[in-house]
Amino acid sequence: MSDKNLVLSAYGLKKERTAMMKEIQCADFSQANRELFLDDAKSRLGMTLCAGSYWVQGVFDAGSYDVNAIAGKYTAIAHRVRLELGQNHAYRNVSAYPFEAVSLIAGGSADGHHNTSPNRNQILIGNDVWIGCDVLILSGVRIGDGAVIGADAVVTKDVPPYAVVVGNPARIVKYRFDEDTIKKLLDIRWWDWEPAAIEEARGYMQDPRAFVDRFWKQPAPLPVTEWTKRIAKLQSGGKTVYYMRADFGSTDAVWMRFLCRFIERFGAGDEAALCLETPPMAECPHDYAVLACLIEQMGSRAPALLTHESRAAFSECVFPYVGVFLTTKEAVSLEGVRLAEADGVRVRYALDAPPFLWPMKEEHLPLPRDVWNATMEKCIMWRREKLLEMVLKGRYDEAMAAIWNIAATLYEYNQFYVDDVTEAALRALSLLLPASEKPVPQGRHERRILFYDAFGLDTRGLAQIYLRALAPLADALCYIAPIHAQGKMPSLEAAVHAAGGELQYLPLGPNAATYQSLCSVIDAFAPTHSFLYTKPWDVTGLLAFMRLEGRSVRYQINLTDHAFWLGQNAFDYSLEFRDFGASLSRDFRRIPEGRLRLQPFYPFVEEGVPFQGFPFAREAGDFVIFSGGQLTKTMDEQLTYYRIVAQILLDFPQVKFWYAGVGDGRYLASLAQQFPGRVVHTGERHDLLAILEHVDMYLSTCPVGGGLMTQYAALAGKPPYILDYNDYHYGFLLDEANLGIHFTQYDAFMAEIHRYIGDADYRQKKDAAFAAHKNLLTAKEFAANLKQIVETGQSNYPIHFYDVTPNIRGQERVFLANYKKAHPFHQPD
């Protein structure tokens, strides 16, 4: 079978991202299986031509890497035969135009997938089939053993065994033999014999009745095995049983892609079960690791799933209890199809589109979110599946980089808060990645505290306050930071050295070598308590902490409690700084309450940092408003934050506005043009407290407020006003609900701002009342609570859980709008 004559279809932009059309010539009559691959790397299997079969010449036209065709043994395919796979359009929609596919291809996101319309993606051609010249066979068709397809036929539906079909569309004109002969030939299955046995029997083949009389034997009764009983129990309990031979170890395995889609569609209470026939575990450790980790990650939510180790491809005795038999890209699928059809079992390809695999939920209702969302999440699904393939094939560095990239995307996208497939891939890597095994020291009485800091930023106060609170608790202290921070964090270095601790700078990139290096350092230190202060996508640190399970008490510092992060299984306790984050972790990250502890924080102030001055000339009568943080926090579709600032500048000519922070500053630049000399944008400053003590007012970012900036403002005695129309900015200050600074309605917020700026007496009273409240935790209180958690596992502060659903749905709309602006799918020219 030749791959040389590759013809790109009319969709063609890039070879690897378009429909794949291959010209086929394979008439070598080999007794070996021959495989056609759709990519140059020979990782995407398109077709298998089994022993003795040949294809004189034709075209294999594939709509995606999901498609597949199998031609059984001793099948003859003539000239100019064309297989069309995965090319259907959604003609039941208002338009049959493939808008989604064109957008994906134009945007470079298709990755070999353009059949975004519902498609059946496999063609199965049985054994001893003859296909005449100029035949067209469409996706989803199964041609039974012994069938004959007449020249010029267009085959759109299944062809029964030994049927003769002709025409457009192809229709049955007769059968080659009577019903009894057909049944017995299907029992005999001469094509499975050794070539010598076939040669010996050829003398009988000219007389079908003599052949049947000579070779047919009554099939033996099927045994009842424990495996049969388990599947029968599922079926009798009302579950639809999906049954497949898991293609562990295959070049282009489909089992894990199907499993990902199955567990996304079905849960523990649904009336569906998956039963997998698998090779022995010792032969496929990577596959078993991924399978076990996917199921373990789902926990009690997992749908019913049974496995059975067997060297036999299928257990014939289970088919009477199966609802759907699933084929793969392996040629042995044809044997399963024979057994399934004998018992009237529905046959589907494991990578068929969902509407062909199972009942769709609310399929006639409008999408709950727009088509852009559906397209985006389809791309994420493809990336997850490629990730699992990397793990299966032992490509660990690629898998770690893929996890890093997926998690970074999900953090920015922020439409959900845990990703089971990526977490399962992390679990599998933690089992498969080589690392030295060091036994847990017994009878340890000293407290050895590890602090892992993936940022290495001297200006971020959270690491400082934890380090200062942990130092008195530690008999030994080890601080790990990324190598790029070496020499750039003098305050943290001084704090570590003052505590008598050791400081390790390590490369922390996503690859196996850095993981092993990190594990070696951690093993050498042998921590009893380990603190994880990391980024949402830090695969290396997360894997190292997963490896510490049972060897050290692990604490995650949840610093981005509103957003997606990776590492659900990398800690024993999540230290939450407010009720909102704890509630989100429990209800949307599925972290049990028993693993959540409240640890409010306070603003770290570096002593001796003087005010470095205004970035503009401050004149008598100026009213300076300060704001700051990452500029992503100021972005929503309505540009609400910039409307607020513009309105203030219009209404109060004495106002000068100063923003300190990094990110997309184009809207600030626009304001600066509109109000010359009154809007200034600077980078981050180290003298934040001093700044807030020298300005007249602090304005929080909107729609996402900054926790640390809010606390700095409170420490400086400035009420941190915020318009929080999603109502989730609570928890950064004590008794925040009674401070009169938190607003959810634009008009009420602007009325308060106007009064605060315009009425000096009101402002003085407001500042005094705000300062009279206890707004912040003290360093002593923070340290005492952290000590309580380390020593007893309990916090002094109870968590008040509440339903955060309305709050996070609002923030998701903001994140989605920002993501769509930053990452538009291309539309056709």
Q: What is the 3-state secondary structure (H, E, C) of 184-201?
A: HHHHHCHHHCCHHHHHHH
Residue 65 to residue 119: CA distance in whole angstroms: 13
624 DSSP β-pair partners: 656
- For residues 597 and 574, is the Cβ–Cβ distance under 8 A? yes
- Phi, psi (rounded to 5 degrees) for 509: -65, 165
Residue bearing tokens 């998701």: 812
**Residue 529 is inside which H or E element, if any?**
strand 529-533
Closest Cα to residue 728, out of 637, 643, 810? 810
Closest Cα to residue 785, out of 572, 552, 555? 555
Q: Which region holds residue 637: left if phi is over 0, alpha if psi is between -120 and 50, else beta? A: alpha
Catalytic annotation, pick one of 79, 89, 286, 823: 89
- Phi, psi (rounded to 5 degrees) for 453: -120, 105
Question: Where are any strands of DSSP class E within 108-213?
Answer: 122-125, 130-131, 136-138, 142-143, 148-149, 154-155, 163-166, 171-175
Instruction: Reply yes or no on whether 89 is catalytic.
Output: yes
Strand 240-245 with 142-143, pairing: unpaired
End-to-end CA distance of the chain: 37
- For residues 755 and 762, is the Cβ–Cβ distance under 8 A? yes
- For residues 264 and 357, is the Cβ–Cβ distance under 8 A? no
Tokens of 822: 């930053």
Closest Cα to residue 257, out of 372, 113, 371? 113
Residue 87 to residue 103: CA distance in whole angstroms: 16
Judged by DSSP in three states, 60 sits in strand
Judged by DSSP in three states, 334 sits in helix
Closest Cα to residue 351, out of 195, 120, 135? 120
Q: Kindly report the number of other CB atoms within 10 A of residue 508's CB atom.
A: 27
Q: Kindly report the number of other CB atoms within 10 A of residue 304's CB atom.
A: 19
**Residue 286 is inside which H or E element, if any?**
helix 285-298
User: Cβ-count burial of 634 within 10 angstroms (0-12 exposed, 13-18 middle, 19+ buried)?
Assistant: buried
Q: How far is CA 524 from CA 430, 521, 544, 699, in A?
A: 19, 5, 13, 48
Q: Return the active site residues.
A: 89
